[in-house]
A and B are shown apart, each in its own frame.
Chain A
Amino acid sequence: MTVEVGRPPALRSQLNLWKPLWWAYPTWVVTALSAFGIYAFFAMIQKAGFAYPYLSPFYSPHIVISGLPISPAFYVAWVPLGFRLTCYYYRKAYFRSFLWEPPACAVADRPGRYTGETRLPFVLNNFHRYFLYVTLVVLGFLWYDAIRAFDFHGHFGIGVGSGIMLLNVVLLSGYTLGCHALRSLVGGGIDCYSCSLAAQGRHRAWSGVSLLNNRHALWAWASMFSVAITDIYIRFLIHGVFADPRWVS
């Protein structure tokens, strides 16, 4: 008996049995990123992100230009936005899920001309390292905020908020320090590690970044959610929904 499936249709719709739900990943990415984008926008237009001593990551560093009716969050938003948009992991996520190039492996691309990352706008992804440089500065501010979250009017204390802030900055550091561009920068570009002492040091740095880089996608998601959760928690405190459980010395 023969079955009417010829070439070239080649079973594009026939599901891969190791990943029977090929549409699950794109659906998840579109849903999660859209939800995060909408929430982030909502959080940023609130013009409030501080519940002593906690500062929302959307509002850090806290820049206020008097006279301008713009939410301080917008002065910094371009940094994480640009960093994540040009991140090698998110590139995979949106090329697959939003642009369908391809939506899943061995599943047909969206029809039309394909130029990859050779044309505008995607050729701009090559500037990812510049967003990394600014992000490293912002990460410094976030660590400062996290440490400040343990300072209650000059007394050391630990609140649920302090824990959340700390966890958030740890996850953000894991994400940022596992960056592919950083991996190349610290040592990936070298061909001979044994040739000098400096190169040996850079081999160690490269190995360290590689360790984090291994699970870069996981760090990307975890840190994205922790940013949202940190903001949600602080927003509850701002609106007095509940009080922050804390212990102060």
Chain B
Amino acid sequence: MTQAALESPAEGGETAATSRRFLVYRGDSNDGQMVEYSVPTLEGMVVLDAMHWIQAHVDGDLAVRWNCKAAKCGSCSAEVNGTPRLMCKTRVDVIVGDIWVQPMKAFPLIKDLVTDVQWNYEVNREIPPFTPPADVPSPWRVQQQDVERLFEFRKCIECFLCQDVCHILRDKNEKARYYGPRFMVRQAYLDMHPMDVRDRTGQIKDESGIGMCNITKCCTDVCPEHIHITDNAIIPLKERVVDEYFDPLLWAARRIRGRRQKKRPSSR
């Protein structure tokens, strides 16, 4: 919905605006409170529209991060009625009663709805990059069935809502011991990639701390890209860690037969 439609709803031929009560967190990490705003709503309005309306009409200094308004840039993450959501993808009309908008809880607050997600980029740098075999020059010929399951992981828009909801980061603040679900998705992408030759299992177990995850699936619940984070990334990686570190039979097999080289697609 455009700003013009919000300002003069009748012109757009839409139904007359009714107002909704928004309670928005205003403040910084030291001090803040929930501030009440009455915002005229229109059909199809999303929470981000309401934040823009507040900026335009009431408090010009309300801090909100956003870019695309199309659920693709991952900037507008916040907590709407206690649930981590993209503000641009959360329709106002699905919410009954007051609408509470708060910043993500897992990250340090800068101002109002804007948090500092820097930590995630630092974690990302710790993950060894994609490592193709040195002796197989690109372009590679890769079959559909070998990359099919990776497409899902590529959908990630780095909104960090999964990081925000993960109780290990959010509640226990164990950021030193667990990379968080978003980076399990990235590790899964790299580890399952047919052209990645690096052995990542040790990193996944130790530095990434996959054992910290207790598969309670909140990350999957909030992911706006509907990535099956737990079922398709975390659990398969946990099983790979078991193969390597917990399974006595496989360990014995490796001792007897030696480690088998994983097969790779050839180059074109």
**Is B36 positioned at the interface, with any CB of A under 8 Å from its CB?**
yes
Query: Given known contacts A11-B79, A117-B213, is B29 in contact with A194 (CB within 8 Å)?
Result: no
Q: Is the CB of A184 within 8 A of B215?
A: no
Q: Is the CB of A92 within 8 A of B32?
A: no
Chain B interface SS verdict (over half)? mixed
Query: Given known contacts A4-B33, A7-B32, is B83 in contact with A102 (CB within 8 Å)?
Result: no
Chain A interface SS verdict (over half)? loop
Give CA–CA (A10, B109) in the complex, Å. Answer: 12
**Is B222 positioned at the interface, with any CB of A under 8 Å from its CB?**
yes
Give CA–CA (A15, B81) in the complex, Å. Answer: 7
Q: Contact string, B213-240, partner A, CB cutoff 8 A, digits 1/0?
A: 1111110011000000001000110111
List 5 contacting pairs A-B, 8 Å CB cutoff, sorted by A: A5-B34, A14-B81, A18-B94, A101-B214, A109-B171
| Of A122-130, A165-173, A230-238, the one touching chain B | A122-130
Inter-chain contact total with CB atoms closer than 8 Å:
175
Chain A residues whose C-beta falls within 8 Å of the C-beta of B95 in the assembled complex:
17
Q: Is the CB of B79 within 8 A of A10?
A: yes
Size range of the chain B interface in the assembly: 35 or more
| Interchain CB contact (< 8 A) of A12 among B82, B83, B213 | B82
| Interchain CB contact (< 8 A) of B235 among A10, A17, A88 | A88
| Interchain CB contact (< 8 A) of A184 among B36, B165, B239 | B239
Query: Given known contacts A106-B84, A116-B212, A116-B214, is B31 in contact with A6 (CB within 8 Å)?
Result: yes
**Is B262 positioned at the interface, with any CB of A under 8 Å from its CB?**
yes
Which residues of A165-194 are within 8 A (CB) of B? Answer: 180-181, 183-185, 188-189, 191-194
**Is A115 positioned at the interface, with any CB of B under 8 Å from its CB?**
yes
Size of the A side of the interface (Cβ < 8 Å), in residues, is: 56
Query: Given known contacts A10-B105, A15-B82, A16-B83, is B194 in contact with A192 (CB within 8 Å)?
Result: yes
| Interchain CB contact (< 8 A) of B29 among A1, A7, A15 | A7
Q: Is the CB of B23 within 8 A of A3?
A: yes
Q: Is the CB of A116 within 8 A of B247?
A: no
Q: Is the CB of A105 within 8 A of B221?
A: yes
| Interchain CB contact (< 8 A) of B247 among A2, A129, A195 | A129
Chain B residues whose C-beta falls within 8 Å of the C-beta of A66 in the assembled complex:
none
**What is the CB-to-nearest-CB distance from B83 to chain A, in angstroms, rounded to a whole number?**
4
Chain A residues whose C-beta falls within 8 Å of the C-beta of B216 in the assembled complex:
92, 95-96, 101-102, 105
Q: Contact string, A94-112, partner B, CB cutoff 8 A, digits 1/0?
A: 0110000110011011000
Q: Is the CB of A14 within 8 A of B100?
A: yes
Give CA–CA (A101, B231) in the complex, Å. Answer: 19
Query: Given known contacts A8-B105, A91-B214, A118-B211, is B240 in contact with A184 (CB within 8 Å)?
Result: yes
| Interchain CB contact (< 8 A) of B239 among A181, A200, A213 | A181
Q: Is the CB of A101 within 8 A of B167?
A: yes
| Interchain CB contact (< 8 A) of B97 among A10, A17, A200, A213 | A17
**Is B265 positioned at the interface, with any CB of A under 8 Å from its CB?**
yes
**Is A218 positioned at the interface, with any CB of B under 8 Å from its CB?**
no
Other contacts beyond A17-B96, A194-B265: 5, CB < 8 A = A11-B100, A106-B83, A184-B236, A191-B192, A203-B145
**Is A42 positioned at the interface, with any CB of B under 8 Å from its CB?**
no
Give CA–CA (A92, B174) in the complex, Å. Answer: 19
Give CA–CA (A191, B200) in the complex, Å. Answer: 13
